[in-house]
Structure 1
Amino acid sequence: MFRMHPSPPPRLNSTGLFPDLYTYNILINCFCKMGRVSHGFVVLGRILRSCFTPDAVTFTSLIKGLCAESRIMEAAALLTKLKAFGCEPNVITYTTLINGLCRTGHTIVALNLFEEMANGNGEFAVVCKPDTATYSTIIDGLCKEGFVDKAKELFPKMKDENINPNVVTYTSLIHGFCYANDWNEAKCLFIEMMDQGVQPNVVTFNVIMDELCKNGKMDKASRLLDLMIQIGVRPDASVYNTLMDGFCLTSRVNRAKELFVSMESMGCKHNVFSYSILINGYCKNKEIEEALSLYSEMLSKGIKPTVVTYSTLFLGLFEIHQVQHALKLFDDMQRNHVAANTYRYTTFIDGLCKNGFVLEALELFRAIRNSKYELNIVSYNCLIDGLCKIGKLETAWEMFQSLPRVGLMADVVTYNIMIHGLCNDGQMDKAHDLFLDMEAKAVEPDCVIFNTIMLGFIRNNETSKVIELLHRMDKRNVMPDASILSIVVDLLVKNEISLKSIPQFKSQR
């Protein structure tokens, strides 16, 4: 493969005009915005050869470009090199790097840089007073990383220094308080914001609405929409989607539909999320015809459904046993080139199996396995369970044994399914061997597995194995079901065996 080297920037002096530092800075900024930072450094080299002294604007553009490419360590290193060029960073330089550090999860490093900047104890030993943008950036970064208490400490300090918080500052803190489930603090901050004459924007409203909706306070969320419109903040699709989702979660689908209809009257277009939310609401309400009607409507408008839209419809259709319609929709999904993932495929396989379409699920399973997708143990569990339930025990067993070959390890659910299938088929010796194999492989058996095997032994009147199993359960502090314990007692009495032969379980002592 050939590697293309970046072409040098154009020679600006080809017309006889010589660029100055201001011109070079504009060129560097353009290259960095285009994602061509390497060209920006070429221009920096030309600045130096032209005997100009690069300034804070020069380096700020380069730092911003490096941050945009997630080359954070290089950006931080560049800041430390400014002194060698006889240049001191300004508040914009610091804020640019702090923003880059916060965006890439280096918030604590950003906080240290912020403190160096404010206190003058950094590389340059000069105080560079943070402004509103600097405070807003670090507060937002801290809140997003969950350091809400630290962000809260900076807020009064900001005001003490006569730096006025803006809508971004308030919104970041409100979001942080909501994330920390401190609704009272968020509400007080919102009221303070309004009292200070800082008008909340659409993001602020959306953050608060989302918190109200998550807590089922839909009437308050609706009143917030009214307030939003009243003060002249135009709601966007995300606001309507948040409210619609909240109403769907509280089983008020008709109210969600009213909002869906009113969106367009407010000049707000429906998007794929608007449709998917309402489709989900109808599916959970088992109003599948309404959901399918919305699906058709979105297609007619040229809105491409996502894999989430299809998955929601699949679950709704499987719930009411409309498997053929689900299969048709699956074909539509493939024709529309909507890529699914392992989780979505597993959901579909599970739906088919639970509705008795196990052979169709097996066919899909094999097709997926032969493609680029890797199936996980959950996918195998769904199909093994389905095969056991329709009496295809041999196929299920083959699939179970194939797990190590495909790099998977059976978990407690897999063993549970397979042991249950063998017990139902009367293959108790094989089920017991599998149970021992499970223990040997350090897969901890649960109460369900113990109960399953015990019922099998009880049916076969294998008293000694029942007693042995009870002692194994006692050692593992696993308590058998009361109903099974009652059957065990009856079995022992019937066979004239003393009840002292079985353990007294700790929960009964």
Structure 2
Amino acid sequence: MLKKAFGTPRFFGFRRNHNNSLTTSSVSSDQRGIRFCIWVALKFENLSYEPYCLVNRILFHRNWYSIYWEALELLKKNGVLVTSDSVRALVRSYSHMGYTEKAIESFSRMREFGIEPDAHMYNTILRDVLNEKLLELALALYTTMLKSNVEPNFYTYNMLIDGFCKRGEVKGAQEMLDEMKRVGIVPCVLSTTSILYGCCQANNVDEAHKLFNDMKETSYPPDMISCNVVLNGFCKMGRLEEALSFVWMIKNDGFSLNRNSYSSLINAFFKARRYREAHAWYTKMFKQGIVPDVVLYAIMIRGLSKEGRVGEAAKMLEEMTQIGLTPDAYCYNAVIQGLCDVGLLNRAQSLRLEISEHNVCTHTILICEMCKRGMVAEAQELFNQMEKLGCEPSVVTFNTLINGLCKANNLEKAKNLFCKLEVGRRHSLHLSLSQGSGQVSDSARLLKKAKEMCEAGQILRAYKLITDLAGEVKPDIITYNILLNALCMDREVNAAYNFFEFLQKKGYPSPDNVTYGTIIKGLFMVDREDEAFKVFQRMQKTGSEPTLSVYRTLMTCLCRKSKVSRAFTLYFEHLKSLPSRDNDSISALEKYLFGEKLEQVIRGLLELDFKARDFKLAPYTILLIGFCQAGKVSEALIILSVLDEFNIKINATSCVHLIRGLCKEQRLHDAVKIFLYSLEKGFMLKPMICNHLLTCLLYSRDYKECVVDLIGRMESFGYRLNSEEFATTLALLQHHQKGKKRKITIRKD
């Protein structure tokens, strides 16, 4: 049947000679190749999948790509109509073999033959472009498609929706879905599942869950892929109880968990350090007859490594080989990370040599571990080796080493490495997009430039521009934040501020909450409070919503200056910005604060926290410490008391500040109670504060006698009182005991 399908067609301009071969006066290339290419060009739209794959293999292995255009030229000269499908055969063949640039070049040449691409052709190119995650180019092609009066079809919209969602741009995906409905194309489960995925990518799993439930009432109800997308969304967010409730719900709806479902759950339980439950789900999966794949093995290997069971993780690599699976670099990296976590750096380096290909992630893990150990010179050497091996460092690798250099006080070397990263960038984006006065993000300018190129038929040029930019290693916002923090810590705040201003004017990457928090903290460090608040106000004006971390930075800095009331006001401002909070209730509590009813305020705030399922200890810790720093220890104790009512334990730092504040006010009985609280909660405080408390007790009139009992409890807890750090305090205790014996002897005499 297949042989018959490939029979040589007869058409105008060719004749058979006695050798049964096609001849023409205008063709000098391989005749069989020309004949085959002509046949493909004319018959492509009628090919089913199997012959289509065979066509791709023949074109590739015979290297007949180069003569395909000759075949089309010949058809055109002989007056045979060359359609969009004729070129699509070549484009799809290039795509099938992974030659995206050649596919786009072929698409661009269609105008030379007077051929207008149809929707099928646009979809072919869109698929290639979106597979390379070049959304800007895809949107530019979509715009060109509309301007050419080519109607997008079902597949066009679904591909673009998926492209938006993979970038986490749910708004764009939703707009595309709305446009799809507007032109009368009915969405399918694939369309809405992409939106579910986009919501989860944007950490908005609640919206995804709502949409999932809405899908049940439509003509395109959710399928198992939809279920796994939402389940994975809950798991990624660490909302495991809701994930388990969702599992129960979909089981009631008739769905059965598959390997992807189990992978999401097992990975989430490992991340939450709920190791027993992770292993229980793994066992349950086997009982269901589901065999793990490479991805699930990688999850198990990483989980075991995090659990500290690195030996078992390494054995899993062998187990994979025994059942015919080849461990990928991700599996090896999980074990290497585990070995680093348990301090076996040399073993990790040996395992690196077992990986067949040089992997950037492997090197980054080792560089990170070396930097943690202060082995910055060794980390730099490994970094330099990467480039010699042809393994290009990623921005994460650069960030890891820059951060290591900063922490090792090698700020100049860190700056030089940053310059290498920055200067190493191609300047095509800057040169191509620098014209114009509008301050727009690079992404928007890039899209505009790509649209202009596509409309001018310069699609290949647009592709090269965008792939050049996508493929290069360039600083991200983390890079800038690392350097900004290092400058602030080095008290080079002017340089840091100038760097921050440069970043704002540049517009890319956009400053995030860490950027703003870092510069605010730096300005407070040098007593430039007014400027710090101007930066905060600028952040709000630019539409960048401050997160709790920025408010925490401001609150901490204000508390250090004993401005606790202003810190409280800022916290109320943050709470009012949260959609889950009742502003009227918060305003009422704010009035109580100024009425000096602190206990009611703290209790009310905690009740609101638990009602919204959004309790965070940090703001209460900052306020408690702030009251201690302001010399208002009684207020700090009120916060502790209310937290204790809710079974919330404070941290060791809060205990230290309370003990120091109480000792300063000579409230030694309360100071001892706080110290005993720290023992009860399992905190090992630093020797400095322990010595301070013991010394205050020994110098006091009423509490000298409790020191021996307190020291006994400290020894039972694990304090090493025989170390040099406690020598002075113990000497003072011995002096006190000798004095006490002397007094007893005098009394007897």
Instruction: Decide which of 262, 272, 280 is 2:485's aligned counterpart.
Output: 280
SS at structure 2 position matched to 1:454? coil
d(CA) in 2 for partners of 1:343, 1:327: 15
Is 1:345 matched up with 2:551?
yes
Indicate whether 1:503 and 2:715 are aligned: no
Q: Deviations over 1:40-94 (max 9, x none)?
A: 9x9999xxxxxxxxxxxxxxx965543222178479969x989xxxxxxxxxx97
Measure how far apart 1:469 and its partner are. Answer: 8.6
Give the superposition deviation at 1:240: 1.0
Match of 1:99 in 2: 263
Indicate conservation of the 8 Å contact 1:241/1:273, yes or no. yes
Q: For 1:272, give the aligned amino acid.
A: I
- In the alignment, what sits opposite 2:536? 330
C-alpha distance in structure 2 between counterparts of 1:213 and 1:138, whole Å: 27
- Contact 2:339/2:345, CA 8 A, preserved across alignment: yes
Aligned twin of 2:444: none
Matches of 1:28 and 1:109 in 2, distance apart? Answer: 36
What TM-score does the superposition give when structure 2 sets the normalisation length? Answer: 0.44
Instruction: Select the residue among 432, 446, 451 that pairs with 2:663.
Output: 451
Q: Is the 8 A contact 1:201 1:233 kept in 2?
A: yes
Match of 1:34 among 185, 194, 197: 194
How big is the shift at 1:279? 0.3
- Structure 2 vs 1, CA of residues 422 and 231 (structure 1 numbering), >3 Å: closer, same or farther? closer
CA distance in 2, matches of 1:169, 1:316: 41
Q: Which residue is equivalent to 2:500?
A: 295
- In the superposition, relative to structure 1, how do residues 137 and 75 fare at CA in structure 2: closer, same or farther (>3 Å)? farther
Structure 2 residue aligned with 1:112: 283
* Distance in 2 separating the partners of 1:171 and 1:418: 46
Give runs of aligned pairs for residues 416-495 of structure 1, distance below 5 A.
417=627, 421=631, 447-448=659-660, 450-454=662-666, 481=693, 484=696, 488=700
Residue type at the aligned position of 1:354? R
C-alpha distance after superposition, 1:210-243 (max 9, x if no partner): 2222222222222222222122222221111111
Q: Is 1:406 matched up with 2:604?
A: yes
- 1:203 corresponds to 2:361: yes
Alignment map for 1:79-90 (pairs within 5 Å): none
**Structure 1-normalised TM-score?**
0.61
Q: Describe the SS at the equivalent of 1:170.
A: helix
Q: Tell me which amino acid in the other structure corresponds to 1:153.
A: K
Larger Rg: 2
1:66 partnered with 2:268: no
Moved more, 100-109 or 303-312: 100-109
Q: For 1:301 and 1:211, locate their aligned partners in 2 and report how far apart those are by CA, in whole Å.
A: 33
What is the percentage of aligned positions where both structures have the same residue? 20
Q: Distance in 2 between matches of 1:359 and 1:411?
A: 15
- Distance in 1 between residues matched to 2:327 and 2:671, nearest whole Å: 67
CA distance in 1, matches of 2:337, 2:368: 10
Instruction: Provide the C-alpha distance between the structure 2 equivalents of 1:291 and 1:470, rounded to a whole number of angstroms.
Output: 41
**Cα displacement (A) at 1:315:** 1.4
Q: Which residue of 2 aligns with 1:250?
A: 408
Q: Is the 8 A contact 2:598 2:638 kept in 1?
A: no
Q: Give the superposition deviation at 1:157.
A: 2.5
Counterpart in the other structure of 2:372: 214
- Distance in 1 (CA, whole Å) between partners of 2:492 and 2:622 is 36
Q: Deviations over 1:233-272 (max 9, x none)?
A: 2222111111111111212121111111111344422221
What value does the CA root-mean-square deviation take over the aligned residues? 5.3
Partner of 2:521: 315
**Is this contact kept in 2: 1:419–1:453, CA < 8 A?**
no
Q: Contact between 1:323 and 1:355, CA under 8 Å: does it hold in 2?
A: no
Does residue 226 (structure 1) correspond to residue 384 (structure 2)? The answer is yes
Deviation of 1:450 (Å):
4.8
Alpha carbons 1:474, 1:505 under 8 Å: kept: no
- 8 Å CA contact retained: 2:374, 2:408: yes
Cα distance change, pair 236–326 in 1 and its aligned pair in 2 (3 A): same
**Does the CA contact (< 8 Å) of 2:564 and 2:623 recur in 1?**
no
Do the aligned partners of 1:276 and 1:308 also contact (CA within 8 Å) in 2? yes
146-155 vs 333-342, which deviates more?
A: 146-155
* CA offset digits 1:341-389 (Å, max 9, x no partner): 33431321332343476776576456446554999xxxxxxxxxxxxxx
Distance verdict in 2 for CA 1:344–1:234, change over 3 Å:
same
1:189 match:
351
Q: How many angstroms does 1:101 deviate by? A: 3.6
**Take 1:29 and 1:326, find their aligned partners in 2: how far apart are those partners?**
49
Which residue is 2:160 aligned to? Answer: none
Question: 1:88 is matched with which residue?
Answer: none
2:337 matched to which residue of 1?
Answer: 175
- Number of residue pairs aligned between Structure 1 and Structure 2: 400
Q: CA deviation at 1:151?
A: 1.9
1:136-173 per-position Cα deviation (integer Å, ceiling 9, x unaligned): 45434544566544322212223345643332221222
* Equivalent position SS for 1:251: coil
Alpha-carbon spacing, 1:160–1:486, altered in 2? closer, same or farther (3 Å): closer
